[in-house]
Chain A
Amino acid sequence: MPPAAPRSGDAIFASVERVNAELFTLTYGAIVRQLLTDLEEVEEVNKQLDQMGYNIGIRLIDEFLAKSNVSRCVDFKETAEMIAKVGFKMFLGVTASVMNWDADGTCCSIVLEDNPLVDFVELPDTCQGLYYCNILSGVIRGALEMVAMKTEVTWIRDMLRGDDAYELQVKLLKQVPEEYPYKDDE
């Protein structure tokens, strides 16, 4: 049987169970606020949000692969496009764009102009240094690690810090060859 064609992010988003984004946004906000209370240090909150994202990413990749029908991406460029056009759309209902590629195609930016995590959010001055959406970078890092790509994901622009968009730089550090639990000739 020929493999089914990959589905567009819009088609998948239309077909999955969806919930009121307010609940999601306010829950995320309440978690960040509770972490700030419990951990006190903004740096530590950034770290925990990234860790939470990573843990979510390593699970979410299965759902992404199952629902999107994408086959193996030929290169990192295709992978980045897939995250931006299909991944963000099927989970958060927004589309991101990929830009600012470096010469060897191992580093790019994913840019979000619309971001449901930050509806109703304003950061007080005491939260300088907080990467409010840091969970997103963790999700991308975790998900890519499960498909054998070690990446480093950092924030370049953040609207909560006065920038005009959200920009995540994704840098491919190492492509880990996949190891199978069996030998080819067996």
Chain B
Amino acid sequence: MGREVSESCIDSLLIEMVSTYCNRFYANKPELAARRIEAIGYQVGHQLSERYTMERPRFSDHLEAIKFICKDFWSELFKKQIDNLKTNHRGTFVLQDNRFRWLTRMSIDQSPENGASEEPSIMADEKAVESMHLYFPCGIIRGALSNLGIPCAVSADISNLPACSFVIRIKA
């Protein structure tokens, strides 16, 4: 087992990173905040996938690489695998995590009593906050796949909370 830190460390860091970009740097430009958060995720995904595939043979096709993301990669990050994988066999993959950790933990940390802090008011629309938080894992997935030679676009769907689906569209 490698080195570990308490889960609060990563949770606090992510909440603060999103809040810094959304509320302090780009309060009126959510699309710019989103791009930065995604870029941070991309970099993390790229580096993690480099580390986790060092001793593996190359993946023979896209599906093999996506399966690696669903199983090994997700387990390293969340101690569980993706629960459901669907594909249209034309370059679109939908990865569903039935209980996405970063969303279930988030609502706890943003309890009303934290409103007393000196931050500018947290975005009123809770959905908007959640979707801002999702740019980070979307970036991680895109970075990981891009490191495996697969350029793609990744978006998230949270219409069935606490389940979260990540939609990967591989660029032809």
Residues of A within 8 A of B (CB): 13, 16-24, 26-28, 30-31, 33-34, 38, 48, 51-52, 55-56, 58-60, 63, 90-93, 116, 119, 135
* Cβ 8 A contact of B10, one of A23, A33, A58, A63: A23
Residues of B within 8 A of A (CB): 2-10, 12-14, 16-17, 19-20, 25, 36, 39-41, 43-44, 47-48, 51, 76-77, 79, 109, 114, 117-119
* Cβ 8 A contact of B7, one of A16, A22, A28, A119: A16
Known A16-B6, A17-B6, A116-B3; judge A22-B20 contact (CB<8 A): no
Q: Measured between alpha carbons, how far is A52 from B117 in the docked complex, in Å?
A: 12
Q: Does the CB pair B25–A59 fall under 8 Å?
A: no
* Cβ 8 A contact of A30, one of B6, B9, B40, B118: B40
Known A48-B20, A93-B3; judge A27-B36 contact (CB<8 A): no
* Chain B hits for A51, CB < 8 A: 20
* Chain B hits for A91, CB < 8 A: 5-6, 8-9
B154 → A minimal CB distance (Å)? 16
Known A16-B8, A91-B8; judge A23-B2 contact (CB<8 A): no
Q: Does the CB pair B19–A27 fall under 8 Å?
A: no
Q: Does the CB pair A27–B44 fall under 8 Å?
A: yes
* Chain B hits for A60, CB < 8 A: 8, 12
Q: Does the CB pair B3–A26 fall under 8 Å?
A: no
* Chain B hits for A22, CB < 8 A: 2-3, 48, 51, 76
Q: Does the CB pair B13–A20 fall under 8 Å?
A: no
Q: Does the CB pair A28–B4 fall under 8 Å?
A: no
Q: Does the CB pair B6–A20 fall under 8 Å?
A: no
* Chain B hits for A19, CB < 8 A: 4-7, 9-10, 77, 79
* Chain B hits for A52, CB < 8 A: 16-17, 20
A29 → B minimal CB distance (Å)? 8
Q: Does the CB pair A55–B77 fall under 8 Å?
A: no
* Cβ 8 A contact of B9, one of A38, A55, A58, A92: A92
Q: Does the CB pair B17–A31 fall under 8 Å?
A: yes
Specify which of A20, A51, A58, A116 lies most central, judged by the most chain B CB atoms within 10 Å of its CB: A20
Known A38-B25, A48-B20; judge A116-B13 contact (CB<8 A): no
Q: Does the CB pair B5–A21 fall under 8 Å?
A: yes
Q: Measured between alpha carbons, how far is A135 from B109 in the docked complex, in Å?
A: 19
Q: Does the CB pair B48–A21 fall under 8 Å?
A: no
A-B contact pairs, 20 of them (CB 8 A): A18-B4, A18-B5, A18-B6, A18-B7, A19-B77, A20-B76, A22-B2, A22-B3, A22-B76, A23-B48, A23-B77, A26-B44, A27-B17, A28-B13, A52-B16, A59-B117, A60-B8, A92-B9, A93-B4, A116-B3
Q: Measured between alpha carbons, how far is A27 from B10 in the docked complex, in Å?
A: 8
B166 → A minimal CB distance (Å)? 17
B111 → A minimal CB distance (Å)? 10
Knowing that A16-B6, A20-B2, A27-B13 touch, tell me 7 more A-B residue pairs with CB under 8 angstroms. Answer: A17-B7, A27-B14, A30-B41, A30-B47, A33-B43, A34-B39, A116-B5
* Cβ 8 A contact of B6, one of A27, A31, A59, A92: A92
